[in-house]
């Protein structure tokens, strides 16, 4: 094609599909590189194509989300007879490229990475669905991964642009059969639950290295999505924890009414799964091999309270409760027998001691007594200090899966979650007395304190210039810089690449994320430099954009931060 497309200089072709070609282009006016998607010219022959294209292009351009590619412009090129859209250039490959790289090395994607990609994609879909936009062709080739590891969903609205009452192309249908929901395969337009079904197919493929269904023809593949049972991801990758199948089965339900009804429901479960995988002491699935430790060696601590960063998940919590109840029932008889034996022994010792004058008789002044325990550990007294998760349930810690400490090889008692915490230690059952009881307690406590009880939060200490009206007026199209000082008010360190991430509204061209390049300890301050360009329009009211703090794993924390600026147009 021509070396110029309107005001854009075409540099090279970087992608090609059945509906469009994508080029790297240079915008001399803004001195930046952009991506241009040029729709094939034959599409313009379809009735009402121009109307659909312009309408959908405007709708797409209104989407402003860190995980959705930003559309800047659209137009028609009379020289080539093609419509095109100008978009944000994502430097990086697609999720499809990443899958091919892993397959070449005989690997599957680690669980934490896969969950983050799907959660970020679901976050993008949640935002778009609330704007009334359905993607209809979610697949790895439409998910870009930039150099910072950010997932970016592309091709929003393309499916609707190229479809029309009289549009056909070689008898095909819009969408990709390998990732198409059953209802789309049967000719229905689909809704937001259809997009979530496609995400379920992608999650299955990320964790097993292959899609759930395969066939020789597109029609046969569609029929498998419609009729075939959902395969188990855990059977294809034995290192996966069983709760992964629970989420995939709900995503891939044949009946849309049995799936997640919106992306926010899915995100809640994914955050729980991410939290579990983050607190495993060993990687879950670097390669699809059997786990090194049997499942019985894992204890589960369940939190029934809402967490600031992890929302409740009925699906995950119910499964954890069932496992906990089963474990508790199996150990209850042993606990009762040991307790009775200790009680009888203590009574006998007391009688002998009372007769010899060592202990006072009944009716004397009350004295502190130690709580009986079947191990040789020193007695625990009731304090407000958090206790090890194997001794008493806690309501302040999110769902965590931990290995037993290596210094205590015997199994530990997993209590059933309670609505309230208690300061009275529960007897701990340990068939083999530990030779280093203090070390055992320390290891268990530190693991809980450092990995399970993290609270991430922040406070804004100062902004210069100040936010909103107090910051004064600034001229349209001018560069803008603001210094934002944040205080780590949480209990854990902010790791490198914690970021202030754009969510919605006006981004002021400051980029999708502003990274913190050094660790920030609790009670420590850090200053972020917010640099951008003011919009070309003025306003009597401050122009605002919403940002939020995120961990390097893209888990949100704290309240959203609204950045408001009074923009003045001297020409108006």
Per residue of the chain (572 residues), what is the pLDDT tens digit? 458 888 899 999 988 876 788 999 999 999 999 999 998 877 777 767 788 888 888 888 889 999 999 999 999 888 888 889 999 999 989 999 999 999 999 999 999 999 999 999 999 999 999 988 899 999 999 999 999 899 999 988 776 665 554 333 333 456 789 999 999 998 888 899 999 999 999 999 999 999 999 998 889 999 999 999 999 999 999 999 988 999 999 999 999 999 999 999 999 999 988 887 766 544 444 444 433 333 333 333 233 333 222 233 444 444 444 444 444 444 444 444 454 555 555 555 444 444 444 343 433 333 343 434 444 444 434 444 444 444 333 333 333 333 333 444 444 434 444 444 444 444 444 444 433 333 333 333 333 333 345 788 999 999 999 999 888 889 888 999 999 999 999 888 998 889 999 999 999 999 888 999 999 998 889 999 999 999 988 887 899 999 999 988 778 899 999 999 999 877 76
What is the per-residue pLDDT for 421?
42
Query: Considering the entire predicted model, what is its pTM?
Result: 0.52
**CATH superfamily of domain region 458-568:** Immunoglobulins (2.60.40.10)
Cβ burial of 107 (10 Å; 0-12, 13-18, 19+) is middle
CA–CA dist 101, 319 (Å, integer): 34
CA–CA dist 179, 176 (Å, integer): 6
**Quick check: 85 and 92 in contact, CB under 8 A?**
no
Classify domain 4-87 by CATH architecture. Answer: 2-Layer Sandwich (3.30)
Token pair belonging to 103: 């397959």
**Quick check: 478 and 567 in contact, CB under 8 A?**
no
Is domain 93-292 given the CATH code 1.20.1050.140 in the classification?
no
Sheet holding 525-533, edge to edge: 458-464, 479-488, 525-533
Residue 71's CB is within 10 A of a number of other CB atoms, namely 23
Query: What is the chain's length?
Result: 572
Domains 93-292 and 458-568 share a fold: no
What is the per-residue pLDDT for 129?
94
**Which residues, in sequence order, are CB contacts of 284 under 8 Å at separation 6+?**
110, 111, 112, 239, 240, 241, 277
CA–CA dist 398, 308 (Å, integer): 10
- Which sequence positions are flagged as catalytic? 137
Cβ burial of 44 (10 Å; 0-12, 13-18, 19+) is middle
Work out the widest C-alpha separation in the chain, in whole angstroms.
111
CA–CA dist 446, 443 (Å, integer): 5
What are the backbone dihedrals phi and psi of residue 122, each rounded to the nearest 5 degrees, phi first? -65, -35
CA–CA dist 88, 95 (Å, integer): 17
Give me the residue spans of the domains in the chain. Answer: 4-87, 93-292, 458-568
CA–CA dist 390, 387 (Å, integer): 8
Q: Report which of 450, 443, 460 is spatially closest to residue 492, judged by C-alpha positions.
A: 450
What is the per-residue pLDDT for 94?
94
What is the per-residue pLDDT for 483?
95
Query: Is the N-terminal amide bond of 465 cis, ω within 30° of 0?
Result: yes
């Amino acid at each position: 094609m021509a070396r110029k497309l309107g005001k854009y200089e075409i540099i090279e072709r970087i992608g090609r599909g059945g509906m469009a070609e994508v080029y790297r282009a240079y915008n001399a006016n803004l001195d930046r590189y952009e991506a241009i998607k040029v729709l094939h010219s034959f599409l313009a022959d379809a009735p009402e194509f121009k109307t659909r294209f312009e309408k959908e292009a405007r709708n797409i351009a209104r989407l402003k989300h860190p995980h959705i590619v930003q559309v800047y412009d659209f137009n028609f090129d009379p020289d080539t007879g093609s419509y095109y859209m100008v978009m944000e250039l994502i430097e990086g490959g697609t999720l499809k490229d990443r899958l091919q790289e892993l397959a070449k090395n005989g690997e599957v994607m680690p669980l934490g990475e896969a969950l983050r990609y799907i959660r970020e994609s679901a976050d993008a879909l949640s935002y778009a669905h609330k704007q009334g936009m359905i993607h209809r062709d979610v697949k790895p080739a439409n998910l870009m991964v930039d150099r910072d590891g950010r997932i970016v969903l592309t091709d929003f609205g393309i499916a609707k642009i190229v479809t029309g009452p009289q549009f056909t192309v070689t008898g095909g249908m819009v969408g990709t059969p390998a990732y198409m929901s059953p209802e789309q395969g049967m000719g229905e337009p689909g809704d937001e639950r259809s997009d979530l079904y496609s995400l379920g197919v992608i999650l299955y493929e990320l964790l097993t290295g292959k899609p759930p269904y395969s066939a020789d023809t597109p029609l046969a593949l569609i029929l498998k999505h419609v009729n075939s049972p959902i395969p188990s991801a855990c059977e294809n990758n034995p290192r996966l924890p069983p709760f992964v199948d629970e989420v995939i089965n709900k995503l891939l339900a044949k009946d849309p009414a049995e799936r997640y009804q919106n992306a926010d429901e899915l995100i809640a479960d994914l955050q729980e799964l991410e939290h579990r995988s983050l607190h495993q002491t060993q990687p879950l699935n670097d390669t699809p091999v059997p786990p090194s430790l049997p499942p019985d060696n894992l204890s589960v601590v369940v939190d029934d309270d809402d967490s600031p960063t992890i929302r409740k998940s009925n699906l995950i919590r119910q499964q954890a409760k069932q496992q906990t109840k089963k474990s508790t029932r199996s150990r209850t008889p042993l606990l009762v027998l040991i307790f009775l034996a200790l009680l009888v022994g203590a009574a006998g010792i007391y009688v002998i001691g009372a007769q010899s004058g060592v202990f006072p008789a009944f009716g004397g002044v009350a004295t502190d007594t130690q709580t009986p325990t079947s191990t040789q550990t020193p007695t625990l007294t009731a304090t407000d200090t958090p206790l090890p998760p194997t001794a008493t349930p806690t309501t302040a810690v999110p769902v965590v899966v931990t290995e037993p400490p290596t210094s205590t090889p015997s199994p530990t008692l997993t209590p059933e979650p309670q609505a309230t915490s208690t300061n009275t230690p529960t007897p701990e059952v340990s068939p083999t007395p530990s030779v280093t009881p203090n070390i055992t307690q320390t290891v268990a406590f530190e693991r809980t304190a450092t990995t399970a009880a993290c609270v991430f939060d922040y406070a804004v200490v100062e902004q210069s210039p100040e936010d909103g009206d107090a910051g004064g007026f600034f001229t349209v199209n001018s560069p803008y810089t603001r210094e934002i000082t944040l205080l780590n008010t949480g209990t854990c360190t902010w790791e490198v690449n914690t970021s202030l991430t754009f969510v919605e509204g006006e981004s002021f061209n400051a980029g999708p994320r502003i990274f913190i390049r050094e660790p920030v300890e609790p009670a420590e301050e850090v200053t972020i430099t917010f640099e951008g360009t003011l919009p070309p329009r003025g306003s009597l009211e401050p122009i605002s954009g919403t940002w939020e703090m995120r961990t390097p794993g893209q888990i949100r924390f704290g309240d959203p931060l609204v950045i408001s600026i009074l923009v003045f147009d001297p020409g108006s």
